[in-house]
Amino acid sequence: MILIHCPYCDEKRPEIEFANAGQAHIARPLDPSGQSDAEWETYLFIRANPRGRHHERWRHVHGCGRFFNAVRDTVTDKFETTYKAGEPRR
Protein backbone atom coordinates (compact mmCIF):
# COMPACT_ATOMS: atom_id res chain seq x y z
CA MET A 1 0.00 0.00 0.00
CA ILE A 2 1.33 3.42 -0.87
CA LEU A 3 1.96 6.02 1.84
CA ILE A 4 0.72 9.52 1.18
CA HIS A 5 1.97 12.69 2.85
CA CYS A 6 -0.92 14.92 3.93
CA PRO A 7 0.32 18.52 3.81
CA TYR A 8 -2.18 19.57 6.49
CA CYS A 9 -1.52 16.78 9.00
CA ASP A 10 2.16 16.78 7.94
CA GLU A 11 2.26 12.99 8.25
CA LYS A 12 2.69 10.04 5.89
CA ARG A 13 -0.42 7.88 6.19
CA PRO A 14 -1.61 4.71 4.37
CA GLU A 15 -3.57 5.08 1.16
CA ILE A 16 -6.81 3.69 2.65
CA GLU A 17 -7.18 6.92 4.67
CA PHE A 18 -7.40 8.89 1.43
CA ALA A 19 -9.79 9.28 -1.48
CA ASN A 20 -8.48 10.18 -4.90
CA ALA A 21 -10.43 13.07 -6.41
CA GLY A 22 -9.17 13.10 -9.98
CA GLN A 23 -7.06 15.50 -11.99
CA ALA A 24 -5.97 18.69 -10.20
CA HIS A 25 -6.12 22.32 -11.28
CA ILE A 26 -9.27 22.05 -13.37
CA ALA A 27 -10.94 25.43 -12.91
CA ARG A 28 -14.71 25.64 -12.96
CA PRO A 29 -15.84 28.08 -15.69
CA LEU A 30 -16.48 31.56 -14.29
CA ASP A 31 -19.21 32.20 -16.86
CA PRO A 32 -21.08 28.88 -17.24
CA SER A 33 -23.79 30.15 -19.59
CA GLY A 34 -21.17 31.66 -21.89
CA GLN A 35 -19.38 28.34 -22.47
CA SER A 36 -19.56 26.53 -25.80
CA ASP A 37 -20.32 22.80 -26.01
CA ALA A 38 -16.64 22.17 -26.76
CA GLU A 39 -15.57 24.08 -23.65
CA TRP A 40 -18.04 22.12 -21.51
CA GLU A 41 -16.73 18.88 -23.00
CA THR A 42 -13.17 19.83 -22.06
CA TYR A 43 -14.15 20.90 -18.55
CA LEU A 44 -16.33 17.88 -17.78
CA PHE A 45 -14.78 14.99 -19.65
CA ILE A 46 -11.34 15.51 -21.20
CA ARG A 47 -8.56 14.38 -18.85
CA ALA A 48 -4.77 14.48 -19.07
CA ASN A 49 -4.18 10.77 -18.30
CA PRO A 50 -0.39 11.06 -18.80
CA ARG A 51 2.07 8.20 -18.67
CA GLY A 52 4.47 9.84 -16.19
CA ARG A 53 4.15 13.01 -14.14
CA HIS A 54 0.54 13.62 -13.10
CA HIS A 55 -1.16 16.35 -11.05
CA GLU A 56 -4.06 15.03 -9.02
CA ARG A 57 -6.29 15.88 -6.06
CA TRP A 58 -6.58 13.76 -2.95
CA ARG A 59 -8.78 14.10 0.09
CA HIS A 60 -7.66 12.93 3.52
CA VAL A 61 -11.14 11.57 4.05
CA HIS A 62 -10.39 9.45 7.14
CA GLY A 63 -8.09 12.09 8.63
CA CYS A 64 -8.39 15.85 8.54
CA GLY A 65 -10.95 15.63 5.72
CA ARG A 66 -9.22 18.26 3.59
CA PHE A 67 -8.45 18.33 -0.13
CA PHE A 68 -4.87 18.79 -1.30
CA ASN A 69 -2.90 18.39 -4.52
CA ALA A 70 -0.17 15.93 -5.40
CA VAL A 71 2.33 15.21 -8.15
CA ARG A 72 2.76 11.50 -8.77
CA ASP A 73 4.44 9.39 -11.43
CA THR A 74 1.78 7.14 -12.98
CA VAL A 75 4.32 4.49 -14.05
CA THR A 76 6.04 3.99 -10.67
CA ASP A 77 3.13 5.30 -8.52
CA LYS A 78 5.76 7.28 -6.52
CA PHE A 79 4.70 10.65 -5.12
CA GLU A 80 6.99 13.53 -6.05
CA THR A 81 5.31 16.01 -3.72
CA THR A 82 2.03 16.97 -2.12
CA TYR A 83 0.92 20.55 -1.44
CA LYS A 84 -2.02 22.43 -0.03
CA ALA A 85 -5.05 23.37 -2.12
CA GLY A 86 -4.74 26.88 -3.49
CA GLU A 87 -0.96 26.76 -3.79
CA PRO A 88 0.43 27.16 -7.33
CA ARG A 89 0.90 24.13 -9.56
CA ARG A 90 4.29 22.45 -9.05
Should residue 3 be labelled a site residue for other proteins when binding is judged by CB under 8 A? Answer: no
Identify which range of 5-13, 24-32, 73-81, 82-90 contacts other proteins by CB under 8 A: 73-81
CB of 26 vs other proteins, minimal distance in Å:
13
| Cβ contact 59:19 at 8 Å | yes
SS3 17: helix
Q: How far apart are CA 2 and CA 29, in angstroms?
A: 34
| Cβ contact 72:22 at 8 Å | no
Residues 30-59 that bind other proteins (CB under 8 A): 37-38, 40-42, 44-51, 54, 56
Q: How far apart are CA 19 and CA 65, in angstroms?
A: 10
For other proteins, the binding residues (CB under 8 A) are 1-2, 15-16, 19-20, 22, 37-38, 40-42, 44-51, 54, 56, 72, 74-77
